[in-house]
């Protein structure tokens, strides 16, 4: 299926690993020009090389940006539009898991999580909006989690910030629908990612017999489909929502979680 992404320009935050990197590879393979964004340039450079090899596209760049800093975000958007002359797609994917119970959660933990996931998305949308308005078919996807819909114990602050992301998705979809800017969210469950690999490495250092495959089986054991998801499964869903094939979908949330969420 041709997704109709050829020539479109996309910015993907949190793009050096996991879901963001997978979404970038999927879009690049479909002919989009892709800018991936993260804080560490060395990781971005490695990811750009991987995405180019996987997708066969040379139109992939990495821009070191701290989405918690609005001036940094503005400079990044200016660099992208200065290079390619347009912006059609924004994927707000920056964020890491942070979970604790109320009595253990610090103010700094809460502030840092909201700054990265909520303020970061707001800063990116503000900076991108003037350019998205010029696009004939603009699309925004916010990465959130099923916990933003149905929070479990000890899931804050991530469940709180992801609930805010879902709320922003619905509000923005209604605000910008008259301008043909679509806004959706993917609620992502447990996937293979750098975060989980880091946890495996720590466990493997203590017990060398504990393999990565053992880790994936344990992490995915409570998923109804019986396995942990691949980052590409979320990346492909994001690419679809940003494409012409999803031209009548806005304000929607799509669970990409192997059936884990207790709500639709």
pLDDT tens-digit readout, 44-56 = 999 999 999 999 9
Answer whether residue 263 is part of any domain. Answer: no
Show the tokens assigned to 44: 């971005």
Per-residue 3-state assignment (H helix, E strand, C coil) for 105-167? CCHHHHHHHHHHHHHHHHHHHHHHHHHHCCCCCEEEEEEECHHHCCCCCCCEEHHHHHHHHHH
- Distance of alpha carbon 33 from the chain centroid: 17
Is 15 a member of any domain? yes
How many whole angstroms separate alpha carbon 126 and alpha carbon 232? 28
Residues 85 and 91: their CA atoms lie apart, in Å, by: 18
| Domain assignment of residue 122, given as a range | 9-191+229-256
Phi, psi of 39 (to 5 degrees): -85, -30
pLDDT, mean of residues 187-211: 92
Mean pLDDT of 74-95: 98
27 within a domain of the structure (yes/no): yes
Model confidence at 65: pLDDT above 90: yes
Whether 134 shows a pLDDT value over 90: the answer reads yes
Over residues 7-19, the pLDDT tens digits come to 999 999 999 999 9
On whether residue 134 sits in a domain, the answer given is yes
70 pLDDT more than 90: yes
Q: pLDDT at residue 1 above 90? A: no
Residue 169 within a domain: yes
Mean pLDDT of the region 114-128: 98
What pLDDT score does 174 carry? 98
pLDDT of residue 193: 84
Residue 218 inside a domain? The answer is no
Q: State the number of CA atoms in the 13 A half-sphere of 235 facing the CB.
A: 26
Residue 256 has pLDDT above 90, yes or no: yes
* pTM, to two decimals: 0.96
Q: Which residue has the higher pLDDT, 1 or 152?
A: 152
In a domain, 236, yes or no: yes
Mean pLDDT, the chain, as a whole number? 97
The dihedrals phi and psi of 11, each to the nearest 5 degrees, come to -115, 130
* Number of independent structural domains in the chain: 1
Res 196: pLDDT? 84
Is residue 223, in this structure, part of any structural domain at all? no
Specify the pLDDT at position 54: 97
* pLDDT grade for 26, boundaries at 50, 70 and 90: very high
- Indicate which CATH number applies to the domain containing 32: 3.40.50.720
Question: Is the pLDDT score of 194 beyond 90?
Answer: no
Say what the pLDDT of residue 245 is: 97
């Amino acid at each position: 299926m041709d997704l109709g992404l050829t020539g479109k320009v996309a910015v993907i935050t949190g793009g050096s690993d996991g879901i963001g990197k997978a979404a970038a590879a999927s879009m690049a393979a479909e002919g989009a020009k892709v800018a991936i964004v993260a804080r560490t340039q060395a990781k971005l450079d490695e990811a750009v090389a991987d995405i180019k090899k996987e997708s066969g596209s040379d139109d992939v760049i990495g821009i070191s940006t701290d989405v918690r800093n609005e001036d940094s975000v503005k400079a990044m958007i200016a660099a992208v539009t200065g290079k390619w002359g347009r912006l059609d797609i924004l994927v707000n994917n920056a964020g890491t898991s942070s979970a604790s119970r109320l009595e253990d959660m610090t103010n700094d933990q809460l502030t840092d999580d909201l700054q990265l996931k909520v303020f970061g998305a707001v800063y990116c949308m503000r900076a991108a909006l003037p350019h998205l308005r010029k696009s004939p078919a603009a699309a925004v996807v916010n990465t959130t989690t099923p916990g933003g819909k149905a929070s479990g114990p000890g899931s804050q602050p991530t469940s709180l910030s992801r609930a805010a992301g879902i709320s922003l998705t619905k509000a923005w979809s209604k605000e910008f629908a008259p301008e043909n800017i679509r806004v959706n969210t993917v609620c992502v469950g447990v996937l293979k990612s750098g975060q989980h690999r880091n946890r495996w490495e720590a466990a493997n250092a203590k017990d060398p017999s504990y393999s990565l495959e053992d880790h994936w089986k344990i992490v995915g054991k409570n998923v109804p489909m019986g396995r942990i998801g691949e980052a590409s499964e979320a990346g492909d869903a994001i690419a679809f929502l940003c494409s012409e094939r999803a031209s009548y979908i806005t304000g929607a949330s799509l669970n990409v979680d192997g059936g884990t969420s207790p709500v639709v």
